[in-house]
Chains A and B, each alone.
Chain A
Amino acid sequence: MMQMTMDELTVGQRGAIKAIHAPKQLKRRLMDMGFTKGVDIEVVKLAPMGDPIEVSVRGYHLCLRRAEARKIELS
């Protein structure tokens, strides 16, 4: 079965990070910002055209594009 990725969450939904499938640089960036295994995230808002998305992680807010969110696998 295909795993759920972060871009599939709708506003207000939560999830825990399972793995990041991204090139080295991007993966490190995402992890540096706090997206590590097991961390809870919540999709807070979508930008006017549904992209990028605003996510709450480790008590702060950041935004990222759907393309990046798709690389983050949730459990």
Chain B
Amino acid sequence: MHTIALIGNPNSGKTTLFNALTGTSAYVGNWPGVTVEKKEGMLNSHKILDLPGIYSLSPYSPEEQLSRRYILDEQPDLIIDVIDATNLERSLYLVTQLAELGCPLLLVLNMADLLEKEGITIDTKRLSQMTGSPVVIVSASKGTGINALKETIEQSLEEKYVALCPLFSNFVERYISHIIEDDYLHAIPQGRQMRWAAIKLIEEDELFLSSMPPLPDAFNTYLTKSRAELADHYDDDPEAIIIDQRYKVAEHIAKDCQIRKQKVKSFNFDSIATNRIAAIPLFILIMGAVFYLSIGLVGGYTTPILENLFGYLGGQVLTLSDTLGVHPLLSGILVDGIIAGVGAVLTFVPQLFILFLLLSILEDCGYMARIAFIMDRMMRTLGLSGKSIIPLVIGTGCSVPAIMSSRTIEHQKQRELTVIVTPFIPCGAKMPVFALMLTYFFPGQWYIAPLIYLLGIVAVIVTGLLAQAIDKHKETNAFILELPRYQLPTVKNVWLQTKERTLGFIIKAGTIILLSSVIIYLLSSYSFTLQTVDAERSMLAIMGRIIAPLFIPLGFGFWQASVALLTGIAAKETIVSTLSVTIGTTNLGSFFDPASALSFMTFILLSSPCIAAISAMFKELGSMRKLLYALLWQTGFAYVSALLVRYIVLLLI
């Protein structure tokens, strides 16, 4: 079995190609850095890997290091460099680095469908001659050229073409050939080319040097002298000289293989999307429209219908089992446990479907990177980066992919702060809880739902400002982000992502929600001596009462709410199913009042997220201590905010 690695610049379409080659449906989007972990798939019994995008083999953020480590340590049998054909020059810069690794290389010119529109023609034959690697032109999103690519892959694995190393200026080459002659270079890892090692020595690459035996004194002196001479000649440091030389090679190849016609300037969506005045209002408008369409319009229409449907279904099943003489325990589990619990959650499928659909359109069209651009200045005052806005927007769907997407933020402090504040943005699973409470206590008061989102945003701001205030070592750091071309979202991508996320929600209803509903029903029907009792004396009530006093100041110190919050750790929708099993969705008014309902929602909004998001946080924060601090902050903040909300409402009413 052979191993094939897909590598390339961020946003060059590696994952789309990966999906096309392996028939999978991994997550794609149109901003640099969608893929943060490697993915494996199979192609004709070869293992094929999709790696996070990189601009060069000297990476910065954690997900880029993954790609470098993989390419350097694992020595795949074939490297497929996915190139955005409309961005040839910069892509060739990476090619000049990959070519030196001594591993067969295959160049895939992706986005062929855009070439004509951009007025670019590429001579693939010439490109293949100049790089010594086969070149295939494809359009991964349209699916053209995939078969030819598969053939070329097989051929490349057999023939093992050796890529041509880029040739630098004579002045640099002289030093390279001298260094190669030294005995020290025999110590380099197997399969690596001498030339590659020599260049690493000139660059003084720390990672490379640390993997090698110590330099002999004489050789070290020679290297230092060479670097000084190079620096003197080019008036720059050796590392910069090599980058410069590589780009010269890339320019040369690009010039020879590519004809670019001057593009006719047409109307550009960016003139509004990043307009100095309109940009931020437009962003707010777009997000508002997303929620209005999904929750307000679709949700408002479908929720009552589905609620009635499940209510009717439960009623019918109950009458039927009563007439048939089914044991009350069994019919109870089925009707009051499963149908009530799972039904309460499934009610929200249509509106979440619309929410996921709209979010994946946003992700696919290229707007995300623009949001990062327009919001960077604001995010910076909070100690965050413009890139932090991407997790926050994705977080309105689900916190787990949102937390993972924070990995593209290079700066550690900003990344960790982003991870901590992302769960403050209410995810799709928290929506059912709010919808349940709002339709019961505040029917027709449409302005409360946006207030909840606003509160989440306030929590982000307060946390950011506080972190800024206590941060003693303020460092300035870079924000460099490629702004991808806008594209029409492809139906296939949008559909795949929407389907995946909606199915995930439904599967959760059929698994976690179903199990917890059954368990909650049983625990609320029996006492510790396993006698059938009424709910007030059940096991669940006794357990819930242990922590319930904690919530008395917040106005929901009854055991049902405590139990609901606890089960919410498994998945936030469980709060809805637990409430509907223990209280019943039509009976909320005898437990909550408007003030405590609002404080309950506030607590759910801000307190620690579900277990899946907690483990995603742990993965990104990388330490148990940091995770505990984060959870403590979230829950403490939630408690205080809920308290405030309750008393403010009590004062107002």
Direct interface between A and B, CB < 8 A: yes
What residues make up the interface of A, taking CB atoms closer than 8 Å to B?
A: 19-20, 24-34, 36-37, 39, 45-52, 54, 58-65, 67-68
**A65, B89: Cβ atoms under 8 Å?**
no
Which residues in B have their C-beta under 8 angstroms from that of A19? Answer: 236
**A36, B244: Cβ atoms under 8 Å?**
yes
**B55, A64: Cβ atoms under 8 Å?**
no
Which residues in A have their C-beta under 8 angstroms from that of B480? Answer: 29-30, 33, 62-64, 68
Q: Is B376 an interface residue (CB 8 A)?
A: yes
Write out, one digit per residue, whether chain B residues 509-546 have a CB within 8 A of any chain A CB (1) or not (0).
00000000000000000000000000000000000000
Q: Is B38 an interface residue (CB 8 A)?
A: no
B451-495 interface with A by 8 A CB criterion:
476, 478-483
**B376, A65: Cβ atoms under 8 Å?**
yes
**A36, B276: Cβ atoms under 8 Å?**
no
**A31, B240: Cβ atoms under 8 Å?**
yes
From known contacts A32-B93, A51-B376, infer whether A24 and B239 are also in contact, taking CB-CB under 8 Å: yes
**B479, A64: Cβ atoms under 8 Å?**
yes
**A36, B483: Cβ atoms under 8 Å?**
no
In the assembly, what is the distance between CA of A59 and CA of B373, in Å?
A: 19
For the complex with contacts A59-B87, A59-B88, A63-B479, 11 further pairs of A-B residues with Cβ separation under 8 Å are: A24-B239, A31-B240, A36-B247, A48-B280, A51-B376, A54-B483, A59-B90, A60-B483, A62-B483, A63-B372, A64-B479
In the assembly, what is the distance between CA of A59 and CA of B377, in Å?
A: 25
Q: Is B386 an interface residue (CB 8 A)?
A: yes
Which residues in B have their C-beta under 8 angstroms from that of A52? Answer: 373, 376-377, 386, 479
Which residues in A have their C-beta under 8 angstroms from that of B60? Answer: 25, 29
Partner of B478, one of A34, A36, A54, A64: A64
In the assembly, what is the distance between CA of A67 and CA of B482, in Å?
A: 17
A19 and chain B: residue at smallest CB distance: B236
Q: Is B218 an interface residue (CB 8 A)?
A: no
**A51, B377: Cβ atoms under 8 Å?**
yes
**A29, B478: Cβ atoms under 8 Å?**
yes
Which of under 10, 10 to 19, 20 to 34, or 35 or more describes the interface residues of B? 35 or more
Q: Is B496 an interface residue (CB 8 A)?
A: no
Write out, one digit per residue, whether chain B residues 74-95 have a CB within 8 A of any chain A CB (1) or not (0).
0000000000001111100100
Min distance, Cβ B64 to any Cβ of chain A, angstroms: 10
A–B pairs, 24, beta carbons within 8 Å: A20-B240, A24-B239, A28-B239, A28-B243, A29-B60, A31-B244, A31-B247, A32-B56, A32-B58, A34-B90, A39-B247, A49-B378, A51-B377, A52-B373, A52-B386, A58-B89, A59-B86, A61-B482, A61-B483, A63-B386, A63-B479, A63-B483, A64-B478, A65-B479
Q: Is B274 an interface residue (CB 8 A)?
A: yes
3 closest Cβ contacts across the A-B interface?
A32-B56, A49-B377, A61-B483
What residues make up the interface of B, taking CB atoms closer than 8 Å to A?
A: 55-56, 58, 60, 86-90, 93, 236-237, 239-240, 243-244, 247, 260, 270, 274, 276-277, 279-280, 372-374, 376-378, 380, 386, 476, 478-483
In the assembly, what is the distance between CA of A54 and CA of B271, in Å?
A: 12
Min distance, Cβ B240 to any Cβ of chain A, angstroms: 6
In the assembly, what is the distance between CA of A54 and CA of B562, in Å?
A: 50
In the assembly, what is the distance between CA of A58 and CA of B255, in Å?
A: 12
In the assembly, what is the distance between CA of A24 and CA of B280, in Å?
A: 34
Which residues in B have their C-beta under 8 angstroms from that of A25? Answer: 60
A38 and chain B: residue at smallest CB distance: B244
**B239, A34: Cβ atoms under 8 Å?**
no
In the assembly, what is the distance between CA of A58 and CA of B248, in Å?
A: 12
A34 and chain B: residue at smallest CB distance: B90
**B377, A48: Cβ atoms under 8 Å?**
yes
**A47, B244: Cβ atoms under 8 Å?**
no
**B478, A26: Cβ atoms under 8 Å?**
yes
**A33, B270: Cβ atoms under 8 Å?**
no
In the assembly, what is the distance between CA of A30 and CA of B482, in Å?
A: 12
Min distance, Cβ A36 to any Cβ of chain B, angstroms: 5
In the assembly, what is the distance between CA of A47 and CA of B276, in Å?
A: 6
Min distance, Cβ A39 to any Cβ of chain B, angstroms: 8
Min distance, Cβ B21 to any Cβ of chain A, angstroms: 25
**A59, B89: Cβ atoms under 8 Å?**
yes
Which residues in B have their C-beta under 8 angstroms from that of A51? Answer: 376-377
In the assembly, what is the distance between CA of A65 and CA of B386, in Å?
A: 10
**B93, A34: Cβ atoms under 8 Å?**
yes
**A62, B93: Cβ atoms under 8 Å?**
no
In the assembly, what is the distance between CA of A45 and CA of B274, in Å?
A: 8
Which residues in B have their C-beta under 8 angstroms from that of A64? Answer: 478-481
**A67, B476: Cβ atoms under 8 Å?**
yes
**B90, A37: Cβ atoms under 8 Å?**
no
In the assembly, what is the distance between CA of A32 and CA of B239, in Å?
A: 11
Which residues in B have their C-beta under 8 angstroms from that of A33? Answer: 55, 90, 480, 482
Min distance, Cβ B33 to any Cβ of chain A, angstroms: 13
A23 and chain B: residue at smallest CB distance: B478
B481 and chain A: residue at smallest CB distance: A63
B386 and chain A: residue at smallest CB distance: A52
**A47, B373: Cβ atoms under 8 Å?**
yes
Min distance, Cβ B575 to any Cβ of chain A, angstroms: 38
**B274, A47: Cβ atoms under 8 Å?**
yes
Which residues in A have their C-beta under 8 angstroms from that of B58? Answer: 28, 32
Min distance, Cβ A37 to any Cβ of chain B, angstroms: 6
From known contacts A37-B244, A61-B482, A63-B373, infer whether A32 and B55 are also in contact, taking CB-CB under 8 Å: yes
In the assembly, what is the distance between CA of A31 and CA of B244, in Å?
A: 8
Which residues in A have their C-beta under 8 angstroms from that of B237? Answer: 24
**B377, A47: Cβ atoms under 8 Å?**
yes
Which residues in A have their C-beta under 8 angstroms from that of B372? Answer: 63
In the assembly, what is the distance between CA of A62 and CA of B301, in Å?
A: 42
From known contacts A28-B58, A34-B93, A49-B378, infer whether A68 and B87 are also in contact, taking CB-CB under 8 Å: no
